[in-house]
Amino acid sequence: MISAVLLINKHGDVVISRFYRGDIPSDVADTFAEKVIRQKNTASLPPIQYINGYSFAYMKHRDMYFVGISKGNANVAMLFQFLKNLAAIFGAYFDDTVMKLPWDQAAIQENFTLVYELLDEVMDYGYPQNSSVEILQMYINTGEMKAKFEANQAALMPELTGAVDWRAKDIVHKKNEVFLDIHENIDLLMSASGTILRNEVVGVVQMKALLSGMPECKFGLNDKIAMDAQDARAGPGGQKRHAVELVDCTFHRCVRLGKFDADRSITFVPPDGKFDLMQYRISKNIKLPFKVLPVIEESEEKGVKVVNITLKIRAMCVYVTFSAAAAAAAIGLFAFVFFLAPLIAHVVSG
């Protein structure tokens, strides 16, 4: 459970503070600012600090620090996810959409009443409640919350208490469209001799859904095809092996995790608009897209030693060949080009 949430600027001054349980003193903000923010090595400090018997978990968002404080043994992963959602909520409310400018400390100070309404709604006695921007914007707005809530109380209650609180039921689009974007970052650590010490791929599957009504979407991953093919070859009693070994993956809360555990299919009722459907990390069977070769030349000119460093980038040639059966089975499924299609595509590096 979370005892308090603070918003502190880069100078260590408290902009917003909300104490939920009354079990910590109000001067803990000054202690945190003195021990963390005003230190010279703030950037190198870990995001979790234990000071004077209290646990502080914090993240920096632009020029503000979002700080969660707990007196007991809190779920740290939940706390960081709550702080991240809170930053997204503030962005939805206070970003300048006309000038396309992000919110800042001035926007928070000009909307104190709205900020405290949001803080009271997203958490109750230290337990996170509703962090859906779409639902919050239905009944928390600038100065008209009570009148709007009473006028639409019958329509709002099912959304607040229902199983699908991230999507309204009366959404209508002239044209049903779905867009998928896959972003992958490669982290690589290599020794001077060229040996790979550590490598991993961190990817995000972003989806933009413009669908009417309450649609149920279902997608299959490429490793589902591999599972079926291996099962057919292995016969009865054969052991299932996944071609894509995910170190860890997280989904949007609209995804039905039980279905994914059962058959590796992603079944969900999507929110309206853009959202992160899936985040994943892979650390095995990673082929390098390019290599960086440093060339160091030392020379001496007029008694001055000169060192020239040249970086050469060599692309690793990749040839992809598809079989007819695999291509037919891949229709309608995700095609994760380098790292998530080992059984659909045969990759040869030269």
Q: What is the pTM of this model?
A: 0.56
> Which residue ranges form the domains of the chain, and what is each CATH number?
4-131 (3.30.450.60), 181-286 (2.60.40.1170)
Dihedral angle at the C-alpha atoms of 168, 171, 177, 179, nearest 10 degrees? Answer: -30
How many CA within 13 A on the CB side of residue 156? 16
The closest of 323, 334, 331, 149 to 223, measured between CA atoms, is 334
Please identify which residue in the block is written with the tokens 């929110």: 271
Nearest-angstrom CA–CA distance, 317 and 340:
18
CB atoms within 10 A of CB 226: 21
Residue pair 170/211 in contact by the 8 Å Cβ criterion: no
What backbone torsions phi and psi does residue 348 show, to the nearest 5 degrees? -125, 120
Per-residue pLDDT for the chain (350 aa), expressed as one digit of tens each? 899 999 999 888 999 999 998 888 888 888 898 889 988 888 888 999 999 889 999 999 888 899 999 988 888 888 999 999 999 899 888 887 766 778 888 888 888 888 998 999 899 888 888 888 877 877 776 644 444 444 555 455 555 555 677 887 788 999 999 999 999 888 888 887 778 888 888 999 999 999 998 898 988 776 544 444 444 445 455 555 545 677 788 898 889 888 887 877 889 999 888 999 999 888 877 777 777 788 888 888 888 888 888 888 887 755 443 333 333 333 333 333 333 333 333 323 23
